[in-house]
Chains A and B, each alone.
Chain A
Amino acid sequence: MSTDIEKLHDDHDHGPSSGIMRWITTTNHKDIGTMYLWFSLIMFFIGGLMALVIRAELFQPGLQLVVPGFFNQMTTMHALVMIFGAVMPAFVGLANWQLPIMIGAPDMALPRLNNWSFWILPFAFTMMLSTLFMESGGPAAGWTLYPPLSLQGGDSFPFTILAIHMLGVSSILGAINVIATILNMRAPGMTLMKMPIFVWTWLITAFLLIASMPVLAGAVTMLLTDKFFGTMFFTASGGGDPVMFQHIFWFFGHPEVYILILPAFGIVSTIIPAFSRKRLFGYDSMVYATASIALLSFIVWAHHMFTVGMPLAGEIFFMFTTMLIAIPTGVKVFNWVATMWRGSMTFETPMLFAIAFIVLFTIGGFSGLMLAMVPADFQYHDTYFVVAHFHYVLVPGAVFAIMAAVYYWLPKWTGKMYNEGLGKLHFWLTTIFVNLTFFPMHFVGLAGMPRRIPDYAVQFADFNAIASVGAFGFGLSQLLFVYILFNTLKKDVTAEDKVWEGAEGLEWTLSSPPPYHSFEKAPTVD
């Protein structure tokens, strides 16, 4: 009967269609993962160029290159591009590539939705970036879009908000897909507590996305109606409340912060055991710690706004809950160190990035703990100390984890080995320059330099000059990364199936590169 025909159809292993249509119409998780990762890399350079405009202007006191209005557009866009264009799509790309081959599934659960969630992104960013070429310029009120300032925005305002809506739709669809895949398509025998830790962190991240992105959508829609329909949600003169926006925004914004870091935790928890040749220490406690961080992320939002004049009880509540986050985060760091302890370590590029992640992310965690102290935060708030803090957790945090993941899985994806010497060079240049860029920011922040200013008093000049030199070094070092990628792709030496001696997991049972359709028959996990 018809089953025979279906069988025949199934046996016909159709590879990718050719040309551009392959990429536009693909529903293959590997193709979509690849597109996400390339998109993220392009956005990383666009956002990076904006950062270099900022650092070039701040190289010396006095305005040399840009007017203050354009400077504000650069800080705003840099953040939006890096958060929504570089880091989030990179993690979704990694999820697309890795989740199915880590849990033994043939593809993502909702392949067409998957195609759509990717293809929204280029359009959203084209629209958002095009506002820079409008007469009134791009958004300039900071990525946090605080009213009333953001309501003063020009023509770019509705375009930015529509772009944010599209990014939200893309993220939510992606998150639904991740949850559906993980909960329904695991290989027989792979119970939840046997899942690779990267899969766990992505599952939790996906719930955070679903819970928080609609809140952002609500907040920006209220801004839109305030601007064009006279609703005055956030306009004090009409009975609205500018601080309410901040509460709503950060109710999204704090979970968002963990959306940007939980998958990184998963990556590091995968790489550290592989190169220590030892099982991850405290798998269960890692899962519980990740879940605790995710839950806590919903009750700490107001620590981003300690200076708005909350009542004392509110300040104390948010101070205590914020401090509590240090506990599960500490557990994670201790577990990583315990995993390395008495292992048999080697230091290939992914391991180097993972170790740097632990050290530098922990430094970012320390400054985070300091920021949690409300009395001291009254001094730190809105200074370069905060800029240093969140760049430490996002650049040597999230971005280093992404780099580590790419080096770790690239030989699997492409079937080709990257040049280890160049990889290590890339690591050392990146690590030196990232610290040269962001460490001095602690100092100028403590000494009293506010963030988001295009020009500064001369006592901040020296550390700013150093940070600018570091930023240009960091940016140029990333060109080496691109060279390494292309250099790997054009090689004809094939990588082994199990690329790394200590690597564990289903993805290493596949060939390198894996077949276009992998795990059509589910493997069994014992």
Chain B
Amino acid sequence: MRISNILLMVIFPTAALAEWETNMPRGVTPTSEVAYDLHMLIFYITVVIGIVVFGAMLYSILYHRKSLGHKPAKFHESTKVEIIWTVIPFIILVGMAVPATKALIMMEDTRDSEITLKVTGYQWMWQYEYLEDNVTFFSKISDESNAARRLGSGVDVTTVDNYLRDVDHAIVLPTNTKVRILLTANDVIHAWWVPELGGKKDAIPGYVNEIWVDIKEPGTYRGQCAELCGKDHGFMPIVVHAVSKPEYYKWVGIQKTNRVAKNK
């Protein structure tokens, strides 16, 4: 392990920062958890199928060779086995479809939310509106990332904190609260995605799409636009600070005072 790390550091200088993340995050919401569990379930099923199929193939490749003097068998059809390998996959698929459908029904149920956050995609920033609490602001990539990402900026991007995943105004959401997120766009199609909060949905001009989150753990969660939206598609990060409910309302209060102060 260590030798391979050193080797990799020689080959790839950035390997020093290696996280080698290879899987979907389990996330911190009920929706991200069901997505993860389903993902792992299907993954293990495919691994088992793969072992059986590739195992049979490998055995055949190793032993049924002309060079070993193996003579070809004559069989070339069997309705019985065709039925078997049609029915067994069907049963496996039903076994996958049941939990997937349950999870989907749960994910699409946006009823009984306490807070509604409306998100509007623009080229290339997000607008956030807290409909109940009457807070509105735009959020775009942080100046530091934005300067570093220019062609020929001369900045070593590994020295930039949260490179491309930092914004000027982060969203604040309360934990243990069902938040409904409404998604739309003003120009082209965007998609709002924070992996640890569950799946993405498109923000489409003329449409209002819905998702919901119920964040179980306080923390900072980062994501970005996931639908090609033009030249700066890669530079539309999303940052969510999840805090306790009292802290959230404190934050709402500050936002309102700031706005009142600005308007005066």
Contact = CB atoms under 8 A, between A and B. Distances in A.
B60 A330 contact: no
B89 A379 contact: no
B119 to A, nearest CB: 13
B60 A342 contact: yes
Interface string A118-159: 000000000000000000000011100010110010000000
Nearest to A367: B46
Contacts of A340: 57, 60-61, 64
Interface in B207-247: 207, 209-210, 222-235
Contacts of A276: 64, 72
Contacts of B15: 461-462, 465
A333 interface: yes
Contact residues on B (Cβ < 8 Å of other chain), bracket: 35 or more
Contacts of B23: 443, 446-447
B111 interface: no
A61 B158 contact: yes
Nearest to B232: A68
B115 interface: no
Contacts of A338: 81
A376 B64 contact: no
Interface in A450-468: 450-459, 461-463, 465-466
Contact of B72 (A312, A344, A453): A344
B206 A458 contact: no
A65 B86 CA distance: 50
A387 interface: no
Contacts of B131: none
Given A149-B228, A277-B66, A375-B103, A63 B149 contact: yes
A378 B72 contact: no
B205 A237 contact: yes
A236 interface: yes
B156 to A, nearest CB: 8
B252 to A, nearest CB: 28
A333 B53 contact: yes
B101 interface: yes
A330 B86 CA distance: 8
B61 A148 contact: no
B171 interface: no
B72 to A, nearest CB: 4
B90 interface: yes
Contacts of A299: none
B204 A243 contact: yes
A498 interface: no
Contact of B151 (A66, A280, A339, A450): A66
B192 to A, nearest CB: 10
A343 B230 contact: no
B226 A382 contact: yes
Contacts of B118: none
Contacts of A331: 82, 85-86
Contacts of A142: 228
Given A148-B189, A375-B103, A450-B224, A334 B85 contact: yes
Contacts of B148: 62
A276 B235 CA distance: 53
A319 B204 contact: no
Nearest to A335: B82
Interface stretch (A11-19, A254-262, A282-290, A483-491): A282-290
B134 interface: no
Contacts of A443: 20-23
B25 A448 contact: yes
Given A63-B151, A446-B24, A447-B21, A241 B60 contact: no
B42 A281 contact: no
B201 A279 contact: no
A1 to B, nearest CB: 51
A370 B43 contact: yes
A193 to B, nearest CB: 12
Contact of A309 (B39, B75, B209): B209
A457 B189 contact: no
A105 B199 CA distance: 54
B228 A373 contact: no
B56 interface: yes
Contacts of A370: 39, 42-43, 46
A516 interface: no
B187 interface: yes
B200 A307 contact: yes
A327 B93 contact: yes
Nearest to A280: B76
Nearest to A66: B151
A308 interface: yes
Contacts of B14: 60-61, 458, 461-462, 465
Contacts of B96: 323, 369, 373
Closest 6 A/B residue pairs (Cβ)? A378-B199, A236-B206, A453-B234, A309-B209, A279-B76, A447-B21
26 contacts: A68-B235, A72-B231, A149-B228, A149-B230, A242-B204, A308-B202, A308-B209, A326-B89, A339-B76, A342-B70, A344-B65, A370-B42, A370-B46, A373-B38, A375-B100, A378-B200, A379-B198, A379-B200, A447-B25, A448-B223, A453-B234, A457-B165, A458-B17, A461-B15, A462-B14, A465-B12
Given A278-B74, A375-B38, A459-B21, 8 more contacts: A68-B234, A148-B189, A277-B72, A312-B105, A342-B70, A344-B72, A453-B224, A462-B8
Interface of B: 8, 11-12, 14-15, 17-25, 31-32, 34-36, 38-39, 42-43, 46, 49-50, 53-54, 56-57, 60-61, 64-67, 70-78, 81-82, 85-86, 89-90, 93, 96-97, 100-101, 103-105, 107-108, 148-153, 155-158, 162-165, 183, 187-189, 191, 193, 195, 198-202, 204-207, 209-210, 222-235
